[in-house]
Amino acid sequence: MSTMNTPVASLTLDFESYFLAHLLRNCIIEAVREWREKREEEPPWDHEFERLESAWLACLDFFIKRLPDTTQHVIREHKETRDTILSMTKSCIPDTCPWEKILVLALRPSQNPSTMISCIICEDTLENPRSKYDILTYARGDPCDTTRIKVDGKIIQVTETLESALRHLRQPSKTRFLWVDPFCIRGHDEEGWQKDIATINSIFSNANEVQVWLGKESSTSTEAISFLEDLAIKTARKVTREEVGVLFTPDEGLVISAHLQAVSALMSVSWWDRAGLLKQLMSGCKIRVRCGNKSVDWNILAIALVALGPKSFESLG
């Protein structure tokens, strides 16, 4: 493997924002297409394009408002960044040849959990990668909260959430290979990102596992994950939703209420805002959701949340 250098994304438009906007745009196009197929008369194309553009801008505005304040400021105040995003309403991203090779982040091991994170960026083939790699997708947090790690021998600034994810994924004696934005994005601008988008489905399908990092352990995150794991087990044993309350609440519902508050807090982490857009991309992948030292298999999480149902959270406001 050869060592490569690649710039780390700044507060300008980054690949993930560009890619999520691309996914959101495709979702809107598909929704309009399905709507058209259900109509008996074919509406005028000009009307359809206006409808699509209006829906896209409304959804994009909603998406931008859920970003950290500093990122919102960059998008709204910097003309180059704003024009790059809004230009997607005018034309499709063209098909382009994907990258033949990918970049992976080699996370060096350490016996001491407190030592600085050290990585190298390596190049590998896309079709038959020599190293088994995981995808790391993480809650972004505030881009102004940064810390230092070492990449290719140089000290660089990264967000605290990314550093904490790498620290929890680092192994004591074995190098771990990860595909993670921004280090593994080959394109450095909109033109290059088009190739990254053309490649990304293959990157996910060839990955060993997708690691979802929700952040450091909170006062209730371990409780929430443990509750969901237990609930999934009981659901698999055909325990009814009514019986769940009895199994988890020996004192008149107080315990179940606390569990649901913990689950609600876990599901409020910013990563879930883009989970719906990433769902199709992660389809068929083995996924593990992590929060601090606690983790849970995606399928277990899904079973538990389905068992709870949306009405379980109505009393929480």
- Per-residue pLDDT for 231 more than 90? no
Instruction: Give the per-residue pLDDT at 310.
Output: 62
> Which tokens belong to 281?
């991309």
Q: Has residue 221 got a pLDDT over 50?
A: yes
Q: Which residue has the higher pLDDT, 173 or 308?
A: 173
Q: Please compute the mean of the pLDDT values over residues 265-273 and round it to a whole number.
A: 87
Residue among 56, 64, 142 nearest 91 (CA): 56
Distance CA 293, CA 283 (A): 25
Residue 288 pLDDT greater than 50, yes or no: yes
Of the ranges 72-86, 110-124, 201-215, 257-271, which one carries the lowest mean pLDDT score? 72-86
Q: How many residues does the chain have?
A: 317
Q: Quick one: average pLDDT of 207-225? A: 92
The residues near 126 (Cβ < 8 Å, ≥ 6 apart) are 98, 99, 100, 101, 102, 199, 202, 203, 206
Number of H helices, E strands in the chain: 11, 9
pLDDT of the residue at 233? 85
* Residue with the larger pLDDT of the pair 199 and 154: 154
- Mean pLDDT on 188-195: 66
Identity of the highest mean pLDDT range in 71-85, 183-197, 257-271, 302-316:
257-271
pLDDT tens-digit series, residues 76-120: 666 555 555 554 433 333 344 556 788 899 999 999 988 999 999
CA distances from 221 to 217, 268, 301 (A): 6, 11, 13
Neighbour count for residue 251 (Cβ, 10 Å): 7
